[in-house]
Amino acid sequence: MKGVLVKDLYIAGNNILVTIVSLIVLGFGLSFLLETSALLVLAPVASTTAAFISITSDAASKWNKNVITMPVSRSQIIGEKFLFYILLAIMGMITAFVPCIVLIFFGADVTPYSLCLYGSIGISATLLAGGISLPCAYLFDPEKSQIVFMMSFMASTGMIVGLVLLTNFVFPVKEHILLAFQIVLIISVIWFFLSYRIAVKVYQKRDIT
Amino acid sequence: MANAFMISGLTKTYKDFVLDHVSFTVPGGSIVGLIGENGAGKSTTLNAALGLIQKEDGIVSILGSKELDGDIKEQIGVVFDGSNYPEILSPRKLNRVMKNIYKSWDEQTWFRLLKQFSLPIDKQIKQFSKGMKMKLAISAAFSHHSKLLILDEATSGLDPIARDDILDMLLDFVQDEEHSILISSHITSDLEKIADYIVFIHEGKVVFSKPKDELTEQYGMIKCGAAQFDALDKSDIIVYRKRDYEWQVLISDREKMQKKYPKTMIVPASVDEIMLLYVKGEK
């Protein structure tokens, strides 16, 4: 699995670099308009686009056909892509922390509460979107999966709104916003894990030509 | 010597094609050539054997194991038509990827083969010609001490000189009796040069699986007119084909037929001609 991860890091290398620089610039730029910590909503989502660059590259070079003949199992191939996706999201989060920390020294109003809130929203959106788009990348052809990838972010936003509204039936969300989004985060983690299990199951039976 | 590769009753059904109980073996230390026209089922057979597609029925045994697990895959080198490596990588970066995939990856062999094939180490694969990509894929298959090479149309994109180099490499590879090769190709002349056995697949079925020497030294083609054709014992005919003014008849024993029909012209048949007669001829 390590070799496949190295391959994905090579493929996404330039894109990762551009994402890091963009997020840092955006973070400092946003600080004049919004709360800097709001970047945590955007950062993990934006950084995971590199995962789809690697999926598109795999499809174009027919790498998936080749790698199955190597000592890598189908579940490892899927597992690596999900792991790569999470690593990218974490990298996005860490990058977004950089302007936040720097701006704290300049007196910006970045609180642990806002970091947790926006971080929870960002990671939830990323995991929900990945839970839709990653299995679809192995179910559909590359063109369709790119459409699904774009739509998955819209869907994840809808799912977050839906989950928050459902939580509102249990307790008033306005009074416990952070708790509500932490519940959404837990559901997103479960969703992502289930999605991984389904993707592995589907991919085991799939003909690769 | 035990079989390095064995498939028995391999079956796969598509809407418009059936791979129908395909069976053949690759004896250890030998080169087996898989021939057949486009769409005959060569790639489907290899894909099913390698676990790329799900088989409906049949048994596949590779290097004595029915399970295609990581340890067995470690000992197989596979080359498809096309390099199938991410085009953004250079051979140097690919080396770093492969040494983290194969436990037995041999960097020295990899760089030696790149040098032998004059492949640039730091150039992206997307800048390679088709021939260079094939050489790269073949280098990768040779760089992890494979015991069995499976090549699917691997020589098709190469010029005659590069093909000859690779055929020599394949012959060197099987000098060690632990090494075996299964190679599918349209270029039957390549297989005539190196193969020990020929397996011919037509419309998803194995038509024959024979030692190459038997085909080239014993098989023959009677070229005759209508009267001579009518006089032939039909049980001697494998297949025949009627051309404008000539009948071409495939027979399995040139010497025996020459004695039986002394006035008939019998010529050796190439693997290409044998394949053509099977595909286009009548029984």
The b-or-e profile of A154-180 (16+ CB within 10 A means b, else e) is: ebbbebbeebbeebeeeeebeeeeeeb
What span, in angstroms and rounded, lies between the C-alpha atoms of B141 and B78? 6
CB atoms within 10 A of CB A56: 17
What span, in angstroms and rounded, lies between the C-alpha atoms of B170 and A199? 39
Of the candidates A134, A138, A145, the one whose C-alpha atom is nearest the C-alpha of residue A67 is A138
Dihedral, A111, A117, A123, A127 alpha carbons, nearest 10:
170
Report the DSSP beta bridge partners of residue B201: B206
Can you give the pLDDT at residue A24? 82
CA angle A101, A104, A106 (to 5 degrees): 125
Write out the two tokens for B2.
Answer: 């035990």
Q: How remote is the C-alpha of B66 from its chain's centroid?
A: 21
What span, in angstroms and rounded, lies between the C-alpha atoms of B69 and B134? 26
Interface contact flag, B71 A7, Cβ < 8 Å: no
Looking at every residue in chain A, the average pLDDT score rounds to: 88
Picking from A28-32, B176-180, B275-279, which range would have the lowest pLDDT averaged per residue? A28-32
Q: Which domain holds residue A106?
A: 2-205
Interface contact flag, A69 B52, Cβ < 8 Å: yes
pLDDT in tens, A106-131: 877 778 888 899 999 999 999 999 99
What span, in angstroms and rounded, lies between the C-alpha atoms of A80 and A108? 38
Residues of B with CB under 8 A from a CB of A: 43, 47, 50-54, 70-71, 73-74, 76, 78, 80, 82-89, 93, 96-103, 150
Most confident stretch, A21-35, A63-77, B175-189:
A63-77
Of the candidates A65, A66, A63, the one whose C-alpha atom is nearest the C-alpha of residue A54 is A63
Residue A57's pLDDT band (cuts 50, 70, 90): confident
pLDDT in tens, B134-157: 889 999 999 999 999 999 988 876
Contact yes or no for A132/A85 (Cβ under 8 A): no
Contact yes or no for A95/A24 (Cβ under 8 A): yes
Can you give the pLDDT at residue A86? 95
Can you give the pLDDT at residue A205? 86
What span, in angstroms and rounded, lies between the C-alpha atoms of B241 and B93? 54
Report the DSSP beta bridge partners of residue B222: B249, B266
- Residue of B19, B71, B85, B88 best to disrupt the A interface, most CBs of A under 10 A: B88
Specify whether the backbone of B172 is left (phi greater than 0), alpha (psi in -120 to 50) or beta. Answer: alpha
- Stretch A188-206: mean pLDDT, rounded? 93
Contact yes or no for B162/B131 (Cβ under 8 A): yes
pLDDT in tens, A63-74: 999 999 999 999
Interface contact flag, B88 A68, Cβ < 8 Å: no
Give the distance from residue A67's alpha carbon to the nearest chain B alpha carbon, in angstroms. 9
Tokens 């929870």 map to which residue? A120
Residues of A with CB below 8 A from B71's CB? 71
Residues of A with CB below 8 A from B93's CB? 10
Domain count, chain A: 1
Half-sphere exposure of residue A134: CA atoms within 13 angstroms, side-chain side? 30
> Is CATH 3.40.50.720 the right assignment for the domain spanning B3-211?
no
Can you give the pLDDT at residue B1? 57
Beta strand segments in B83-226, E: 148-152, 180-184, 197-202, 205-211, 220-224
- Stretch A10-28: mean pLDDT, rounded? 83
Percentage of residues in chain A with pLDDT exceeding 70? 100
Residues 6+ apart with CB under 8 A from A169: none
pLDDT in tens, B16-47: 899 999 999 999 999 999 999 888 899 999 99
Can you give the pLDDT at residue B103? 94
Interface contact flag, A3 B97, Cβ < 8 Å: yes
Domain with CATH 3.40.50.300 in chain B: 3-211
What span, in angstroms and rounded, lies between the C-alpha atoms of B30 and B212? 11
What span, in angstroms and rounded, lies between the C-alpha atoms of B279 and B239? 9
Q: Where are the alpha helices (DSSP H) in chain A?
A: 2-30, 39-47, 49-61, 63-68, 74-105, 112-139, 142-170, 177-205
Residue A188's pLDDT band (cuts 50, 70, 90): very high
Give the H or E element holding residue B98: helix B91-99
- From residue B239, alpha-carbon distances to B41, B221, B277 in Å are 21, 10, 7
Looking at every residue in chain B, the average pLDDT score rounds to: 90
